[in-house]
Structure 1
Amino acid sequence: MHATIIGGGRIGRGFVASLLKRNHVEITFFDTDQELVKNFEQYSSYTVHVLGNEKENTIINEYKINHINNSQAWADELTKTDIIFTAVGGKNLTSLGKIIGKNYQQALSREDVPSFILVTCENWMTPAEDLQQAIETQLADAEKYIFQRHVDITQAVIRASGTSAPNGEQTINPLDTWVQDYWALPVDGKRLQNHQKPNLQYFEFRDDFGEMLAQKIYTNNTSVALVAYLGYLKGINYVADAANDSDIEPILELGYEEINQALIYSLGVSEESQLEFSRVAEAKYKDYSIVDEVIRIGRDPIRKLASDDRLIGPANMAMDAGVNPKAISLATAAAIYFDYPKDPSSVELKRIRETQGIDAVLEEVCGISKESTLANLIKESILELKEHQWIKGEA
């Protein structure tokens, strides 16, 4: 079996590659970063380290690497790959889809008809739909017909973390990466119409995939945002330190209660499923072996404060369920004051807040009325954080 991984970051070359290697699958990487491509070419192997369980480390070797714009490499790859995994970030799916679509069209012009499964591994609400739409913009109607009958596009939920080296760890090989000790990749099995489910250990092609992507985003992303933004205000550098902080931990516990009730009501997921999501998420963010910076989690707060994203989205769901989203409102208040100076989004958010006021942030960034119940909860939370001196320098 041959697999393609598009995106050589921590999830692509780390988590996904380690699962494939354990299945003895041949791997070819594609990436946009020329320096990363050179590192792949220079080093014949690298290690995927398992945090807290080094005996499970995986050596990745005998791979191939290509730049994303190498059309000849795409010509070869599309004819031999059985399954493609994307790990490029949801906002890059449109540009990636156009590249795949263009190369698929060129394959058809050579009278090749590539047939494969394409699995998105993105932290995104509708990755499969977005990628398929972008691919098909490059295809004529007849080509779309062929594509839809030979390619299945489905989506996975990434529940494992990929991190940088633990503190004090010496990194000799720049490709080495560290992943959480977690060994499952749930994939939406119902989206496979043209192919059988691959027989791969650790890859769970589930017919009951359902709302797992939404559950993941509104459980994991919401709770880690709460930890990161509150931790940033307290001057805490790492996620695990913040999640275990005596002031933040009770807010996090309340946050999971709000999230659970919101998602059970709004998504119609089972209580058992949602509680399991919360348990796994909480254990992950409290795990000191997983080294992740609150600044990395907090970056791009304008996007993360949008009306359908990880804070405002579940806050509204909670209110629909009759739940007062106190903890999520505190997290949102903290996010509004995330002012990391090296992040352009944070700088712009600070500018809006300081020149136009909190109401402008709530309406322009969060997409909620300044007079709404949720807006008032967030403003009350801002006052509370100021009273506790978590927000400093303002009356």
Structure 2
Amino acid sequence: MPERAFVGFGFGPIQAGLFLCEAAASGAFSRLVVAEIVDDVVLSVRRAGGAYSVNIATSTGIEKRRVSGVEIYNPLREPDREELIRAVAEASELATALPSVRAYGCGRPGDPVDILGRGIRKKLEDSSFPAAVLYAGENHNHAAELLDEALASAFGIQGNGRFQAVNTVIGKMSGVVSDERQMAEQELAPVTPGAGRAFLVEEFNRILIGRIAIPGFRRGIAAFEEKPDLLPFEEAKLYGHNAVHALIGYLLRIRGAARMSDAASFPDILALARDAFLQESGAALCSKYAGLDPLFSVDGFAVYADDLIRRMLNPHLRDSVARVTRDPRRKLGWDDRLVGTMRLALSRGIEPNRFALGAAAALKAVAAEENISENEALESLWGEEAADSAMKRRVRDLIARSLPCLK
């Protein structure tokens, strides 16, 4: 009987601090395998004997966790690629945690699609290999479907009952710390000895995944929670978690704050953010998904909002305002966290004045970074994706009306 493996793609804080961490803690896997294309990272983990460290920010401080028994391979190197293909065949659970869905590739040697396709094909040819589920951890509502399409296109793999990719909703805040001073002040454990960088993640661990349809499949990673339809929860993350995080970040940027935890010194920002959470995005989502789940109720969303704001203020995460507010033009995208939330609220008959203020603060960041006027920045947002001209005018008017409030 082949060994049962866990295989991860990408070795960043979500893979290391969530998927691999949970796989190791479960005791359900005889192999822990990860693919990483940066040679220095691969070599450092190997030099450490297949072990790495992750720092977990709790409400009271930092907990250090060491994960051992990890095999790490570079898929761009032929011998390593063959090891990864074999590991995929042996895997019962896998996880991708890549920078974006574009990193899946199209089946060229070393692409995740290439490694997965060739490993899954071995499963189909040999029934002694276990069926497998893959957790698509990229920040995209249809990551699993896009991966399925790539596998079908490159290898003809689809609907075989032996492999299933599922979407995820990961509300776990995480990052890589490379600042020597912060690492020393917080006494962070480096990823590997002498690595000069550390993984820092919050302890929150309620991760949602799509419903697994493989008959009789039992997950080794039991901590995740299956949902028959993830879309409502993905929207709650984007229009709740991500939107309020950005709202607080851009308002703190206006005030000159450095850390997200500095929001505790600005009760007006916190009050506005909570009201935006409950009365704008929360009210819209509860209207749209009433009765679907306890989350989509007045009480359920209040618990969600208060817990999330408390987590955002965790001083041990040291989350920077600069990180949260980078790439403001993207975050003002028609379907992204700020404008997308405004559109959702307007579609449910709610005027999103608080999120308009956050969008105005983000717009000021665009103007400053691109050395253009705020009006030019506003006029340059949204192209063909904003086909609804009436909605476009309403959103623009709300943002323009909010700009003077920030002076």
Q: Say yes or no: TM over 0.5.
A: yes
Query: Residue 374 of structure 1 aligns with which residue?
Result: 395
Whether the aligned pair in 1 keeps the contact of 2:73 and 2:81 (CA below 8 Å) is: no
- Which sections of structure 1, spanning at least 5 residues, go unmatched? 341-345, 387-395
Whether the aligned pair in 1 keeps the contact of 2:26 and 2:220 (CA below 8 Å) is: no
Query: Would the alpha carbon gap of residues 249 and 365 (structure 1) be closer, same or farther in structure 2, given more than 3 Å must change?
Result: farther
Give the deviation of 1:252 after TM superposition: 0.8
Distance of 1:216 and 1:116 partners within structure 2: 27
Distance of 2:107 and 2:360 partners within structure 1: 36
Query: Would the alpha carbon gap of residues 335 and 204 (structure 1) be closer, same or farther in structure 2, given more than 3 Å must change?
Result: same
2:105 maps to a residue whose letter is S
- 2:162 is aligned with 1:150: yes
Percent of aligned pairs with the same residue? 19
Distance of 1:152 and 1:120 partners within structure 2: 10
1:163-220 residue CA offsets vs partner (Å, 9 max, x unmatched): 345561245634442221223322222x433551314332223446452122112111
- After superposition, the CA RMSD in angstroms is 3.0
- 2:68 is aligned with 1:76: no
Distance of 1:308 and 1:296 partners within structure 2: 20
Give the deviation of 1:19 after TM superposition: 1.7
Query: Within 5 A, what are the aligned runs for 1:345-360?
Result: 347=369, 350-351=370-371, 353-354=372-373, 357-360=376-379
- 2:60 is aligned with 1:60: no
TM-score, structure 2 normalization: 0.81
Query: Would the alpha carbon gap of residues 39 and 366 (structure 1) be closer, same or farther in structure 2, given more than 3 Å must change?
Result: farther
Whether the aligned pair in 2 keeps the contact of 1:240 and 1:285 (CA below 8 Å) is: yes
Query: Within 5 A, what are the aligned runs for 1:290-369?
Result: 290-339=317-366, 347=369, 350-351=370-371, 353-354=372-373, 357-364=376-383, 367=386, 369=389
Distance of 2:227 and 2:107 partners within structure 1: 24
Distance of 1:224 and 1:359 partners within structure 2: 21
TM-score, structure 1 normalization: 0.84
Give the deviation of 1:109 after TM superposition: 7.8
2:190 maps to a residue whose letter is N
Whether the aligned pair in 1 keeps the contact of 2:62 and 2:316 (CA below 8 Å) is: no
1:5 maps to a residue whose letter is G
- 2:271 is aligned with 1:250: yes
Distance of 1:365 and 1:105 partners within structure 2: 35
Query: Residue 288 of structure 2 aligns with which residue?
Result: 266
1:293-351 residue CA offsets vs partner (Å, 9 max, x unmatched): 111122222222111110111101111222110110011111112259xxxxx84xx25
Distance of 1:267 and 1:154 partners within structure 2: 22
Query: Residue 120 of structure 1 aligns with which residue?
Result: 136
- 2:39 is aligned with 1:34: yes
Counting matched residue pairs gives 373
Query: Would the alpha carbon gap of residues 210 and 375 (structure 1) be closer, same or farther in structure 2, given more than 3 Å must change?
Result: closer
- Which sections of structure 2, spanning at least 5 residues, go unmatched? 193-197
1:43 maps to a residue whose letter is A
Whether the aligned pair in 2 keeps the contact of 1:161 and 1:180 (CA below 8 Å) is: yes
Query: Would the alpha carbon gap of residues 369 and 207 (structure 1) be closer, same or farther in structure 2, given more than 3 Å must change?
Result: closer
Query: Would the alpha carbon gap of residues 243 and 7 (structure 1) be closer, same or farther in structure 2, given more than 3 Å must change?
Result: farther
Query: Residue 393 of structure 1 aligns with which residue?
Result: none
Whether the aligned pair in 1 keeps the contact of 2:101 and 2:138 (CA below 8 Å) is: no
One of 208, 211, 226 as aligned partner of 2:247: 226
Give the deviation of 1:71 after TM superposition: 2.4
Q: Which moved more, 1:28-37 or 1:265-274?
A: 265-274
Query: Residue 13 of structure 1 aligns with which residue?
Result: 16
